[in-house]
């Protein structure tokens, strides 16, 4: 066996590791949101990363993202009882950048049961930073029939 | 180190790649269904692949699968707002064939909220083709207590 | 290339395999629960593994776990029609032990539609046994606003 064959194996392994790291990053979001760990959750994003939540507007930077979690809307959700359930993500790797597309469902306890409070499309833009993959931008929009929400789930051609 | 040890590593890597490719193939379904990209969605299947949706019957071939997406039932769902959320899949690899079992939930916007419109069992039969893994057959059935739906989720013994 | 570089590759591959095996183990739960394969489901656990379901208490050992599936509550769920949908898991590997955190949603057929019957936080403690990864403990609690349920989703610091 030669060095080329070894290198080829390393490249294939790296690609799997990248996909696994991206999946792990996104899988960490739900538990952090549900437990209200605002600082830890913000660390999933790049320093100047942004989070756009449909009609609620867009925030930039970790402090602003942490404030979303510490804010009254999210705290009320946690008080009632909530699950930020995500679906599997379709990952497109492109060197040190990647995109992941998938659904998120916020389930909310109503007192007598649970309801699907928000059902959204998500587009995660990711970057490989010095300490691993981070979110550079997340776009989230309610799947209420709007074209803009559907557009987040479109693959790049 | 010898060639055998290298080969063993390649085999292990290949197995992980296969599982990742199958997971990626299935993870692509939801976003394609929600955005109505009928042709792209049909490309997930083999040329003569089939899709059986419970009582709605079975279609064969990419053109027929694309028609399901372009048809009135699916287009009405998209108009209302929908999310084709999938769960994780239990993958059984067997050389150039594989089976994946898991749930799918179609969430539908009702105007005032979201409801779980369809909750189904899925059995995906997959084949490794010249361009990678494709779906040779997908069976989907409502988990409404029927034995037939449950049977789709059974492991092979 | 030298033996060290080869070894490093093997270690990285092993780590991916461990994560994949844990994900596969947990992905097997839903289909086994929905099909009522009590013995097979219990085999996901270690011989003396335990399963704590919130207020319903804790059971230990495979026979007791199988009884949960064979028992009247679970059988009634199956009769109605149910889906034990899981979300992605956040996996923390530590040698021969691991923790996985994530959501589970039991969807139940009501006769006219489906409802989110249980929405829970889950903490899976896993161990590498002689035949691969097994569950040593699963803690499940309703996300109804209780601090105890949220605590299951907390990362270790």
By residue range, what is the domain housing residue A19? 3-151
Q: Count how many domains chain C has.
A: 1
- Whether this model's ipTM surpasses 0.90 comes out as yes
User: Are residues A82 and C19, on separate chains, in Cβ contact within 8 Å?
Assistant: no
User: Are residues C150 and A32, on separate chains, in Cβ contact within 8 Å?
Assistant: no
Residue C157: inside a domain? no
Residue B157: inside a domain? no
**Is pLDDT above 70 for A157?**
no
User: Are residues C19 and A16, on separate chains, in Cβ contact within 8 Å?
Assistant: no
Written as one string, the DSSP assignment of B63-125 is HHHHHHHHSHHHHHHHHH-EEEEE---EEEEETTEEEEEEEEEEEEE-SSSEEEEEEEEEEEE
Chain C positions touching B116 (Cβ under 8 A) are 107, 113-116
Summarised one tens digit per residue, pLDDT across range B76-122 is 999 999 999 999 999 999 999 999 999 999 999 999 999 999 999 99
Contact yes or no for C30/C106 (Cβ under 8 A)? no
Which residue of chain B comes nearest to C29, CA vs CA? B90
Residue with tokens 């790649």: B17
* Burial profile A112-144: b = 16 or more Cβ within 10 angstroms, e = fewer: eebbbbbbbbbbbbbebeeeebbbbbbbbbbbb
User: Are residues A35 and C144, on separate chains, in Cβ contact within 8 Å?
Assistant: no
Predicted local confidence at residue A1, as pLDDT: 54
Residue C85: inside a domain? yes
Among C88, C102, C143, the residue with its CB nearest the CB of A81 is: C143
- C16 and chain A in contact, CB less than 8 A: yes
Predicted local confidence at residue C156, as pLDDT: 80
CATH code: domain of residue B114: 3.10.450.50
Residue B50: inside a domain? yes
- A128 and chain B in contact, CB less than 8 A: no
Q: Find the DSSP H helices in A36-128.
A: 38-42, 62-70, 72-80
Distance CA C103, CA C121 (A): 5
Q: How far is A5 from chain C (nearest CA, A)?
A: 11
Residue A156: inside a domain? no
Residue C46: inside a domain? yes
User: Are residues B40 and A155, on separate chains, in Cβ contact within 8 Å?
Assistant: yes
Chain C positions touching A10 (Cβ under 8 A) are 9
DSSP C145: S
Q: How confident is the model at residue C3 (pLDDT cuts 50, 70, 90)?
A: confident
- B17 and chain C in contact, CB less than 8 A: no
Chain B positions touching C86 (Cβ under 8 A) are 87-88
pTM of the predicted model over 0.80: yes
Q: How confident is the model at residue B124 (pLDDT cuts 50, 70, 90)?
A: very high
Q: Round the average pLDDT of chain A to a whole number and report it.
A: 96
Residue B156: inside a domain? no
Summarised one tens digit per residue, pLDDT across range A10-36 is 999 999 999 999 999 999 999 999 999
Summarised one tens digit per residue, pLDDT across range C90-138 is 999 999 999 999 999 999 999 999 999 999 999 999 999 999 999 999 9
Among C35, C79, C87, the residue with its CB nearest the CB of B154 is: C35
Residue C45: inside a domain? yes
């Amino acid at each position: 066996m030669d060095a080329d064959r070894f290198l080829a194996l390393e490249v294939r392994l790296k690609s799997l590791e990248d996909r696994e790291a991206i999946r792990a990053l996104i899988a960490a979001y739900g538990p952090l949101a549900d437990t209200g760990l605002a600082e830890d959750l913000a660390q999933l994003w790049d320093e100047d990363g942004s989070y756009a939540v449909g009609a609620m507007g867009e925030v930039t930077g970790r402090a602003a993202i942490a404030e979303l979690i510490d804010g009254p809307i999210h705290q009320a959700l946690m008080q009632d009882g909530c699950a930020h359930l995500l679906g599997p993500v379709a990952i497109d790797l492109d060197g040190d950048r990647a995109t992941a597309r998938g659904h998120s469902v916020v389930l909310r306890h109503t007192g007598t049961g649970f309801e699907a409070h928000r059902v959204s499309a998500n587009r995660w833009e990711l970057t490989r930073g010095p300490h691993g993959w981070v979110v550079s931008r997340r776009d989230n929009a309610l799947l209420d029939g709007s074209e803009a929400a559907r557009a987040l789930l479109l693959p790049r051609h």
